[in-house]
Amino acid sequence: MSKSPNILLIYTGGTIGMIKDYKSNALKSFDFSHLKNKIPELKLLDCHIENICFEDPIDSSNMNSDNWVKLVEIIEKNYHDFDGFVVLTGTDTMSYTASAISFMLENLQKPIVFTGSQLPIGDLRTDAKENLITAIQIATLQEKAGPKISEVCLYFEYKLYRANRTTKISSEQFEAFDSPNYPPLAKSGVHLNFNDKYLLKHKSKRQKLIVRKKINANVVILKLYPGITKQIVEHILNIPKLQGVILESYGSGNAPTEDWFINLLEKTLKKGIPIVNVTQCVSGKVIMGYYETSSRLQEIGIISGNDITTESAIAKMKYLIGEKVSFENFKMYFETPLRGEMSF
């Protein structure tokens, strides 16, 4: 007889960890040690749940690379004692954090499911209970060959996504997240229906987990807009200690063709600073060379971000620079899907 799965719940901060005091109407921190008493439906799940909370829970707006390392160290320390992990964090930066964790954990063989909520767990119309219950249930699922899920995911409002494919699309709707360029891994209704062919498959179940903690924060997002000036672009590209640039271009990777703009990008590349081209569009991908306005970017050596999200691109760049990937090899590594974050 198989044992009940052990699930570790990790709370970093965010709305889902708040509960309303009905006397004062104020929000206070939720005590996750009494989780099953507050959410008795969890007793229907055949699993053992333990929890770890950040000593000082943080608002998602204060999430940074150091907190990513702190989170991944908790998972590393408890990896062999638990069958799955559910991470509760603020929604505003959840896609950034979940994407980063996917790169920081190489050869992951267990589920890590990120979730949160738009309303506090004690609110009358809260989405927190459903998100939390289903996220935990997904983390418990086992098959003969091992866990049903063996990647970093994000569950929100009846859909399970590959985390490094997601972006937050609404600050008000319960359907707060979407995965514009990759189908949901599962949909929750009367039944949990998985799209098995979209799940990340591993070549070997025996590969040892490798934890990458060297995250370099010296990167910048340069978002183009009509009328952007030479002075602004020049200032951004000459930030002291800058080591990487995500260029948010128009449409399928298009940018100004003015000489001053191309020259500034070329000077940056000659310093050994990689530049990755991602689209500002919610969906679609960069196809450099498709239009004349992207041909020059291709010619000078700008890297194509393909259909990667900005959130995943910035996380991947921080990871690769932290791992000291050489400028010469950076293009090859970035344009190669490492954790299913982009299409082939």
Contact 220, 246 (CB under 8 A): yes
Q: What are phi and psi of 117, to 5 degrees?
A: -160, 160
Q: How far apart are CA 226 and CA 247, in angstroms?
A: 14
Q: What are phi and psi of 114, to 5 degrees?
A: -85, 140
Contacts of 2 (CB under 8 A, 6+ apart): 142
Q: How far apart are the first and last CA of the chain?
A: 41
Active site residues: 15
Q: How far apart are CA 320 and CA 330, in angstroms?
A: 8
